[in-house]
Each structure stands twice: as C-alpha cells, then as structure tokens.
A = this chain, B = another copy of it.
Amino acid sequence: MQNAAELKSQDGRSQRSSGKMMAVKEEETRFQLQKDRMLRAAARCFNEKGYSGSSLKDVAAILGLTDAALYYYVRNKEELVYLCYLRAAELGREAMQRALDERHDGMNTILSYLRYHIDMMVGERGPIAIMSEIPSLQPAHRAEILDLSRQHSARFEELLKAGISDGSVAPCDVRMTGNAIMGSINWIPKWHHGDADTGETIAAEFPEILTRGLRPPKDQS
C-alpha cells in the first residue's frame, strides 16, 4: 500500500533549491524550522494528551495550522511519531556525546550527561516525546528506534562500567542500575508539563538525586 519510491515536494525541495550562493545551513531554514516546530508541538501533544488523544488537528492547532498542512512536512501520522522519537533519540545521544567529550572520570561523565539530557528535556529544545508507541511504528521505523534505544542504554551502561573501573562509582548491576536511572529520566515528561520553574528545579536536582546512590561508600571528594 505504501510506495516509498516517489519523493514528495518537501524532500525534493531540499535537493533542488540550492541553486544560488547562499550557505546551505541558511537555505534549509524555512522548511526545516517549521518542521522542527511541528515536532516539538507533536511531542508536547503526545506527552500531554496521549497518542490516541492527539489528533493531527490538535498538533496543527498549536502551530496555527490546519491538519492537512502537516502532510506537507510528513507523509502520515506514523512518520510524525517516528520523527518525534528519532529526535528524542538524537538529543539523548547528543547529550551523552557532549559529556563524553569532556573526558571526566566515570561518575562525572554520568553527572554531566544527565545534566545535558535533562536540560534538553525541560528546556528550550524540549519537550522530548515519551516513547510510548514504538510498537505501532512500521517495522523499519520500529527497528531503527529500538536499535537507537538499545544503543543508548548500552552506552549508559558503559559509563557505569567505566566509573566502576576508575573507582568513581560503587560496584553495581549495571543493567538494573541503568534501567532504574533511565526510567526516572524517561518518566519526567509524564509529570512535568513545561512549567519553567519546576523545569529548573528538575535540572538542578535530578542529576544529584540519581547519582547519589552510585557513590562509593568511603570516597569523599
């Protein structure tokens, strides 16, 4: 039923329109900017009203558009969800990469990553969609998102292992500990709905709260 072959105007556009001398970055601006706004609106909708409770009309309304307009940016609702999740995964990876680039010890890399990730979730670039509907994605999309999720979990477990190795983290079951911490983070959008105040509180306190249990008994830097 879905012929993935033919490009829609949006996709084609980015290929065609760079006819002159402008920098490519600026070139993508209009279309890409709106698309980003759309993804954030969709994430907000899905988080607040649930997936089934969010019609395309609801998402479009946030942008001051008509539901049909969204089809200019996205092939269908499934793709909208997919892109929300892809964005969530990318922001998570970005946060972790930034932390890794800072070359701290294990514990501080974890702390740094948590700060970046949470900042993203509750700040300007948020909200980030809760991945509640991965199973309703089409197979290829589902596989991709699941793969990214697993990679992220695996990377976080590596951070824990590194911390245990360098003594900055107390020995623990990294799988379970990772799941516990990730769960806390992933659940945030469930109770935090964009209030800037609590957003700052979360960003300020969560990293500490989540890592308090990881510190080795004796160590007191």
Stretch of A24-32, A65-73, A92-100, A209-217 with 4 or more beta carbons under 8 angstroms from chain B? A209-217
A202 CA to B52 CA, complexed, in Å: 30
Choose the segment among A2-10, A104-112, A186-194 that binds chain B (4+ C-beta atoms closer than 8 Å): A186-194
Minimum distance in angstroms from A21 CB to a CB of chain B: 46
A14 CB within 8 Å of chain B: no
Categorize the interface residue count of chain A.
35 or more
Task: Give complex CA distance A202, B178 in Å.
Answer: 12
List of B residues within 8 angstroms of A134 by Cβ: 50
Residues in B whose Cβ lies below 8 Å from that of A177: 209
Instruction: Say whether A179 faces chain B, with CB atoms less than 8 Å apart.
Output: yes
Copies in the complex: 2
- Binary flags per residue of A132-146, CB closer than 8 Å to B gives 1, else 0: 111110000000000
Chain B residues near A183 (CB-CB < 8 A): 183-188, 190
In the docked arrangement, what's the CA distance between A173 and B207, Å? 13
Contact of A172 among B48, B202, B209, B214 (CB under 8 A): B209
Give A104 to B213 CA distance when docked, in angstroms: 22
| A35 shortest CB reach to chain B, Å | 23
Q: Which of B176, B187, B190, B210 interacts with A206 by CB under 8 Å?
A: B176
A17 at the interface (CB under 8 A from B): no
Query: Beyond A182-B187, A187-B186, A213-B212, is A49–B176 a contact (Cβ under 8 Å)?
Result: no
Contact check, A176 vs B201: say whether CB atoms are below 8 A apart.
yes
A50–B133 CB distance below 8 A: yes
Closest to A220 in B: B217
A159 within 8 A of B: no
Closest to A51 in B: B52
Chain B residues with Cβ below 8 Å from A180 are 184, 206, 209-210
Residues of A whose CB lies within 8 Å of any CB of B are 48-53, 130, 132-136, 172-173, 176-177, 179-188, 190-191, 201-202, 205-206, 209-214
Which 9 A-B pairs have CB atoms at the shortest separation, nearest pair first? A183-B187, A213-B213, A212-B213, A53-B136, A183-B184, A50-B133, A132-B132, A49-B135, A50-B135
